Amino acid sequence: MTPQTTLEDRRASARDALERCQALVEPALKEAVGTLHPWPRRMVGYALGWCEADGSPAATAGGARGSVRPWPSSAPRPRGAPEEAAVAAAVAVELVHTFTLVHDDIMDGDERRRHRDSAWKAFGTGPAVLAGDALFALAAETLARGGGARSGAAVGLLAAALRELVHGQADDLLFEDRPWTGPEAVTLPEYLAMAAGKTGSLLGCALALGPVLAGAHPPVVLALTEAGRLLGTAFQAVDDVLGTWGDPRATGKPVHGDLFRKKKTLPVLAALSASTPDSRELAALLSSPAPLTEATAHRAATLMERTGARTATLTQARTLIAAACDHLTSAPLAPGAADELMGLSEYLLARYV
């Protein structure tokens, strides 16, 4: 894209790319999920937005995906080993992503996702854990069977990303037991390292799997992995902003949800690091053993706003996206590929601004 390309042009290009990828991947995703046992298959279909908890087709409103479309005429079924392997990789990433969301909602106690009950709330904790396990196993099988001659390397990359993801998730949970202030408080660098593992690792894997299957040179794989890791960390930063100030009609989650759980998010940590009367009042609110009420959560969000935490977090996200774009432009990608990936990065901030 030229320097004169407008923000709306980039976002329109990103929408086109997403629709093209969805048309290629979604039917293969449905085919893979169809191999599961009927009970976890229904739970997985619910988590993916394809059906309601009773198995009936999902409404298309409110962010749900609705029924999976057949192969459209505008996107013919991929033919040949490289194309089929790329679709298998995309399916595996989507399965793993959904697996992490199902289990993350259980760990965080989140009752809502995409404008309706989360999987554990709809089916129970045990069944939701089973559905997540099914997604994880199916992802590895899909990649191993459909990845072609380099499937072993691809599965290894996915496994390494999952190990890093678990590392980040473990840190996120451990952060909950650390104090809000003092020498044992969570630092901003610690948070960013956690987010890079919890969220960045899978996006880095998503960008690198295709090149690995295509036999790309290691520097290309490394550049894409690092770009994805940075984009994932930026995604988490924006998600933290939405978790505090987001409109429930857009996010599908209650307002101030992260504050009610007293999660150590990037905006909270940025606010506490301001060392102002507002940040000290915020620390007192969060350190209290009493749960936050709607009034005190609103007060906490106001205090964070006054410290500049929202602006600081979005600035951090923009910095991470810019660094990711530097990696993309440095890699010898096919014409237009870097532009499309950079256009998709606009969606990270477009969810909020």
Rounded distance between C-alpha atoms, residue 317 and residue 84, angstroms: 34
The 10s digit of each residue's pLDDT in 66-123 is 333 333 333 444 445 567 778 889 999 999 999 999 999 999 888 888 889 999 999 9
Give the pLDDT score at 3. 47
Tens-place pLDDT, residues 77-92: 444 556 777 888 999 9
Q: Is pLDDT larger for residue 117 or for residue 63?
A: 117
Per-residue confidence (pLDDT) for residue 344, from 0 to 100: 76
**Neighbour-count burial of 10, counting CB atoms closer than 10 A to its CB (0-12 exposed, 13-18 middle, 19+ buried):** buried
Average pLDDT over the chain, rounded to an integer: 86
Contact 57, 67 (CB under 8 A): yes
pLDDT digits (tens, 9 = 90+) for 289-319: 999 999 999 999 999 999 999 999 999 999 9
pLDDT value of position 82 = 61
Residue type, 87: V
| SS3 (DSSP) at 349 | helix
CB-CB contact of 342 with 328 (8 Å): yes
The pLDDT value given to residue 250: 73
Whether the CB-CB separation of 202 and 139 falls below 8 Å is answered with no
Report the candidate in 210, 229, 231, 230 with the shortest Cα–Cα distance to residue 221: 210
* Average pLDDT of span 248-270: 85
Using CA atoms, how far residue 126 sits from 40, 79, 131, in Å, is 11, 40, 9
How many whole angstroms separate alpha carbon 122 and alpha carbon 54? 10
Helix-strand-coil percent breakdown of the chain, rounded to 5? 70, 0, 30
From the CB of residue 257, how many other CB atoms can be counted at a distance below 10 Å? 20
